[in-house]
């Protein structure tokens, strides 16, 4: 790893698509300002409506001299079909934001816009890493793990995943867990409807064997099948599944959390006594909220591309955008994109042998921290 | 509906498999006693280890003369493979419990045992309703609806579902919502990764058209695609999906709820002040717990069989068993099993025309309350 520049040498420029989020460019620029005040080294290239962005940036003193604005005439809207954006998206801020990563001007691209369009454009402009069939979107899921989070993927890049795709998700997810969460030997599980080996779909059984065989060579622990209830558990660090199931699970969990907090609020408003209790409990409830606040873990990472793309929640406010910027920064600092490429290349170089014992022959030198 | 006997005439005998639950027959008999003390009309046939059951039942005065005990030598364990139980399950309490429904001695069968085995045995002994390809397991999901619950199916009977299966789930689920929740015109939605019509898997698009075309004839409202976050919402009453996705969603929601309550407990124990707050808030928190307590909605209903089978949580305590008994009783009282059969038969008699406009020709007489 001696060749890799240390944190001090890595110029962390984040390329940000300021348009397309529900709250508009104002929330994005405010988020940039929060991050800039916490992190003296960070710089931005921001894409969108030039005059509007100049005005917003000028209002934030902390951004002085740290932001380059690139005007784009068009915006990808939430309703635009990905296929349409792929053909006609050239003048959009999203396209421009990806272009800066493609040209090597920025380490990471961040957008609050249309997920499908962002993935489609990322595939066209940045291209998939050699050997990757389906890129995936990984998120950090609040969990009982000491670090507080598990990695879950795919949460919506592709509605299908074959056994080999799930194996790639396992490799990409564990590389993310190693670089993003600092776990040396992540535990990987496959999401299924039961933990017994005979349960579930045929491609999951096939993936089970491939991922088990590849564990030693890639220095992760394979825990086998896990269930929905295990996603926030301390049984596993990386959960792999197809993007259909992962997306349903993610949105179901978000829906459940919001249903419960609503019910909690109602319960506390029920009687005068409960209102007093709520006042006294406020600090505790804030602590809880902070732990499960989706804004704190804002940012799905697109894995399997030449470059890192972070997708922020469409409804992210300044706090949420700032959290996504921090994630982008952290990934840029660890050189995650290069490490992931090396990890996948090392597996690919062993050919189809990953499901045979020869997978153990993967050169040791590629296993350092990727 | 004049031919149908009213509630007073329906002898509601529930056939109960007392073995196979995590807490053993004691929890089951205690649950029976709770139900018996609330409901003077209910009677039971209970299956399992005869001497043990006699002893447990003798201890509960309220069960005097209301319980028939049937001895079974064997028990289906949680680890038994469904295929094994189908071939060798004849001497088990589960088999015996289903047999009482098959013989017409009881209206409903209830078990806390192995779900896969119970479904397999139910299919073998009770047989599928004419025209049903895949039976499904439906549950009540706590929601923002006025009644407090939505119906979700399939949550784990079958890992696959084609478009026609999803249509049958829609019909079965809306019949359950009508009879179990008293909704005259249930709103039906298909679980997907987005609400736009171009999203998701091909079989979901096909199901979308079939279920839309069948809505008027079967007197439900079709709301189209819904997402994971809509499951506990007031946008929809019945959510249909394949058993793989449904099972993952259910277990993810349960896991999220338990993660949040654990975090809530931790938050309240953090400081002396928060401990006092917790004491004051206790009534409010109990109210919340009651609303989202899984024991209150205990019972997955197997739909699509000749007879009603209710699967209680394996870990159900007396309160949970009693809730499942109440659900079994309610379904028996509405004559749900016959109504569901009539609903499916009426749709089947219109042949494959459900996905054409002729579906509107379904005879009106079959639409009364089924």
The pLDDT value given to residue B365: 33
Does any CB of chain B come closer than 8 Å to the CB of residue A148?
no
Q: How many domains does chain A have?
A: 2
Helix axes B243-268, A243-268, angle to 10 degrees: 40
Contact call for residues B6 and B333 (beta carbons, < 8 A):
no
- Smallest Cβ–Cβ distance between A281 and the set B79, B266, B278 belongs to B278
Could you write out the three-class secondary structure of B167-185? HHHHHHHHHHHHHHCCCCC
Which strand (E) or helix (H) includes residue A137? strand A136-142
Taking CB atoms and an 8 Å limit, are B259 and A142 in contact across chains? Answer: yes
> What is the rounded CA–CA span in Å between residue B139 and residue A268?
28
Contact call for residues A34 and A3 (beta carbons, < 8 A):
no
Q: Please identify which residue in the block is written with the tokens 């089951």.
A: B28
| Same domain? B61 vs B75 | yes
Contact call for residues A332 and A9 (beta carbons, < 8 A):
no
The pLDDT value given to residue A20: 83
Residues B156-191: tens digit of each pLDDT: 999 999 999 999 999 999 999 998 888 999 999 999
**C-alpha closest to that of B55 among B75, B69, B42, B41:** B69
Is the pLDDT score of B125 beyond 80?
Answer: yes
* Enclosing domain of residue A106: 6-127+305-334
Taking CB atoms and an 8 Å limit, are B281 and A292 in contact across chains? Answer: no
| Same domain? B64 vs B196 | no
**C-alpha closest to that of B187 among B162, B212, B165:** B212
- Residue A11: which pLDDT band, with cuts at 50, 70 and 90? low
Here the contacts of A288-291 (C-beta below 8 Å, separation 24 or greater) are A288/B260, A288/B263, A288/B264, A288/B266, A288/B267, A289/A261, A291/A142, A291/A148, A291/B263, A291/B267
Q: Cα separations (Å) of A244 from A197, A250, B151, B246, B329?
A: 22, 10, 21, 12, 37
- B315, part of any domain: yes
Side-chain half-sphere exposure of B85, counting CA atoms within 13 A: 28
Is the pLDDT score of A86 beyond 70?
Answer: yes
| Same domain? B24 vs B94 | yes
Domain of A89: which CATH number?
A: 3.40.718.10
> What is the rounded CA–CA span in Å between residue B102 and residue B126?
6
Q: Cα separations (Å) of B21 from A199, B24, B121, B123, B317?
A: 21, 5, 17, 21, 9
Could you give the strand order of the β-sheet that contains B136-142, starting from the edge strand earlier in sequence? B67-71, B43-48, B13-17, B108-111, B308-311, B300-303, B136-142, B149-153, B238-240, B187-191, B221-226
- A209, part of any domain: yes
Is the pLDDT score of A135 beyond 90?
Answer: yes
- B46, part of any domain: yes
Residues B274-302: tens digit of each pLDDT: 788 777 777 777 777 776 665 566 789 99
Mean pLDDT confidence for A319-345: 87
Does any CB of chain A come closer than 8 Å to the CB of residue B255?
yes
**C-alpha closest to that of B102 among B123, B125, B121, B86:** B125
> What is the rounded CA–CA span in Å between residue A195 and residue A49?
51
Contacts of A200 in chain B (CB under 8 A): 159, 244
Is the pLDDT score of A41 beyond 90?
Answer: yes
What is the distance in angstroms between the CA of the first residue and the CA of the last residue of chain B? 10
Task: Return the structure tokens found at B260.
Answer: 């949040």
| Same domain? A194 vs A72 | no
| DSSP letter assigned to residue B271 | S
The pLDDT value given to residue B315: 85
**What three-state secondary structure class fits A114?**
coil
Taking CB atoms and an 8 Å limit, are A288 and B263 in contact across chains? Answer: yes
Mean pLDDT confidence for A261-272: 81
- A179, part of any domain: yes
Does any CB of chain B come closer than 8 Å to the CB of residue A202?
no
- Residue B232: which pLDDT band, with cuts at 50, 70 and 90? very high
Contacts of B117 in chain A (CB under 8 A): none
| Same domain? B264 vs B196 | yes
Strand B43-48 versus strand B13-17 pairing type: parallel
In a mutational test of the B interface, the residue from A148, A250, A281 whose CB has the highest number of chain B CBs within 10 Å is A281
The pLDDT value given to residue B348: 66
Contact call for residues B73 and B91 (beta carbons, < 8 A):
yes
| Same domain? A265 vs A248 | yes
Query: What rounded mean pLDDT belongs to chain A?
Result: 86
| Same domain? B72 vs B89 | yes
- B5, part of any domain: no
Contact call for residues B46 and B28 (beta carbons, < 8 A):
yes
- Could you tell me what percent of chain B has a pLDDT over 90? 63
Mean pLDDT confidence for B299-313: 92
- A134, part of any domain: no
Is the pLDDT score of A241 beyond 80?
Answer: yes
- Residue A366: which pLDDT band, with cuts at 50, 70 and 90? very low
- Residue B351: which pLDDT band, with cuts at 50, 70 and 90? very low
Task: Return the structure tokens found at A231.
Answer: 């996603």
Task: Return the structure tokens found at A80.
Answer: 């635009």
Does any CB of chain A come closer than 8 Å to the CB of residue B59?
no
Which strand (E) or helix (H) includes residue B303? strand B300-303
Residues in chain A: 370
Residues B126-140: tens digit of each pLDDT: 999 988 999 999 999
The pLDDT value given to residue B297: 66
**What three-state secondary structure class fits A231?**
coil
Contact call for residues A53 and A69 (beta carbons, < 8 A):
yes
> What is the rounded CA–CA span in Å between residue A226 and residue A173?
15
Which strand (E) or helix (H) includes residue A44? strand A43-48
Is the pLDDT score of B241 beyond 90?
Answer: yes
Does any CB of chain A come closer than 8 Å to the CB of residue B229?
yes
Residues A136-173: tens digit of each pLDDT: 999 999 999 988 899 999 999 999 999 999 999 999 99
| Same domain? B141 vs B153 | yes
**What three-state secondary structure class fits B98?**
helix
Taking CB atoms and an 8 Å limit, are B253 and A248 in contact across chains? Answer: no
Contacts of B280 in chain A (CB under 8 A): 273-274, 276-277, 280-281
- Among chain A residues, CA nearest to B234: A259
What is the distance in angstroms between the CA of the first residue and the CA of the last residue of chain A? 10
Residues B138-160: tens digit of each pLDDT: 999 999 998 889 999 999 999 99
- Smallest Cβ–Cβ distance between A255 and the set B228, B267, B292 belongs to B228
Number of H-type helices and E-type strands within chain A: 11, 11
ipTM over 0.95 threshold: no
**B10, exposed or middle or buried, with CB in 10 Å at 0-12, 13-18, 19+?**
middle
Residues B3-35: tens digit of each pLDDT: 444 444 556 899 999 998 899 999 999 999 999
Is the pLDDT score of A335 beyond 90?
Answer: no
CA distance A181 to chain B (A): 20
The pLDDT value given to residue B11: 63
Does any CB of chain A come closer than 8 Å to the CB of residue B292?
yes
- A132, part of any domain: no
- B95, part of any domain: yes
Give one word for A76, left, alpha or beta, with left for phi > 0 and alpha for psi -120 to 50: beta
| Same domain? B33 vs B99 | yes
Query: What rounded mean pLDDT belongs to chain B?
Result: 86
| Same domain? A54 vs A107 | yes
Contacts of B271 in chain A (CB under 8 A): 283-284
- Angle subtended at Cα A207 by Cα A201 and Cα A210, rounded to the nearest 5 degrees: 155
| Same domain? A325 vs A365 | no
Could you give the strand order of the β-sheet that contains A43-48, starting from the edge strand earlier in sequence? A67-71, A43-48, A13-17, A108-111, A308-311, A300-303, A136-142, A149-153, A238-240, A187-191, A221-226
Contacts of A59 (CB under 8 A, 6+ apart): none
- Among chain B residues, CA nearest to A252: B228
Is the pLDDT score of A368 beyond 60?
Answer: no
Is the pLDDT score of B74 beyond 90?
Answer: yes
Q: Please identify which residue in the block is written with the tokens 């002040």.
A: B273
Contact call for residues A303 and A13 (beta carbons, < 8 A):
no
In a mutational test of the B interface, the residue from A116, A117, A200, A267 whose CB has the highest number of chain B CBs within 10 Å is A267
Does any CB of chain A come closer than 8 Å to the CB of residue B145?
no
Q: What is the CA radius of gyration of chain B?
A: 21
- Smallest Cβ–Cβ distance between A256 and the set B144, B253, B271 belongs to B253
Residues A273-309: tens digit of each pLDDT: 778 777 777 777 777 777 666 556 678 999 999 999 9
Is the pLDDT score of A346 beyond 50?
Answer: yes
Please name the residue ranges forming H helices in B75-155.
82-88, 93-102, 115-126
**C-alpha closest to that of A102 among A81, A122, A76:** A122
Does any CB of chain B come closer than 8 Å to the CB of residue A131?
no
> What is the rounded CA–CA span in Å between residue B332 and residue B322?
15
| Same domain? A206 vs A346 | yes
> What is the rounded CA–CA span in Å between residue A305 and residue A340?
9
């Amino acid at each position: 790893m001696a060749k890799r520049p240390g944190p001090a040498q890595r110029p962390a420029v984040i390329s940000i698509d300021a348009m397309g989020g529900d709250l508009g460019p104002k929330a994005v620029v405010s988020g940039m300002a929060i991050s800039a005040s916490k992190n003296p080294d960070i710089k931005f290239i921001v894409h969108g409506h030039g005059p509007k962005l100049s005005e917003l940036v000028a209002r934030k003193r902390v951004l002085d001299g740290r932001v380059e604005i690139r005007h784009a005439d068009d915006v990808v809207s939430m309703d635009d079909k990905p296929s349409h954006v792929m053909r006609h998206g050239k003048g959009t801020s999203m396209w421009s934001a990806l272009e800066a990563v493609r040209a090597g001007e920025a380490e990471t691209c961040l957008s609050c816009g249309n997920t499908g369009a962002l993935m489609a454009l990322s595939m066209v402009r940045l291209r998939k890493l050699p050997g990757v069939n389906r890129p995936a979107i990984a998120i950090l899921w609040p969990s009982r793990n000491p670090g507080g989070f598990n990695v879950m993927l795919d949460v919506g890049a592709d509605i299908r995943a074959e056994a080999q795709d799930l194996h790639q998700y396992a490799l990409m997810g564990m590389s993310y867990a190693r670089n993003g969460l600092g776990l040396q030997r992540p535990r990987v599980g496959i999401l299924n409807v039961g933990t017994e080996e005979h349960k579930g779909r045929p491609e999951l059984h096939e993936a089970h064997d491939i991922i088990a065989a590849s564990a030693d060579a890639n220095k992760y622990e394979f825990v086998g099948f896990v269930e929905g209830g295990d996603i926030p558990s301390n049984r596993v660090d990386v959960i792999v599944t197809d993007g259909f199931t992962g997306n349903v699970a993610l949105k179901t969990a978000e829906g459940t959390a919001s249903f419960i907090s609503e019910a909690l609020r109602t319960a506390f408003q029920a009687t005068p006594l409960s209102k007093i209790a709520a006042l006294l409990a406020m600090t505790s409830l804030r602590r809880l909220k902070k732990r499960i606040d989706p804004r704190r873990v804002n940012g799905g990472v697109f894995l399997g591309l030449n470059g890192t793309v972070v997708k922020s929640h469409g409804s992210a406010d300044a706090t949420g955008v700032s959290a996504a910027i921090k994630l982008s920064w952290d990934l840029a600092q660890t050189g995650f994109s290069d490490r992931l490429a090396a990890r996948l290349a090392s597996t690919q170089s062993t050919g189809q042998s990953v499901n045979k014992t020869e997978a153990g022959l993967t050169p040791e030198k590629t296993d350092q921290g990727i």
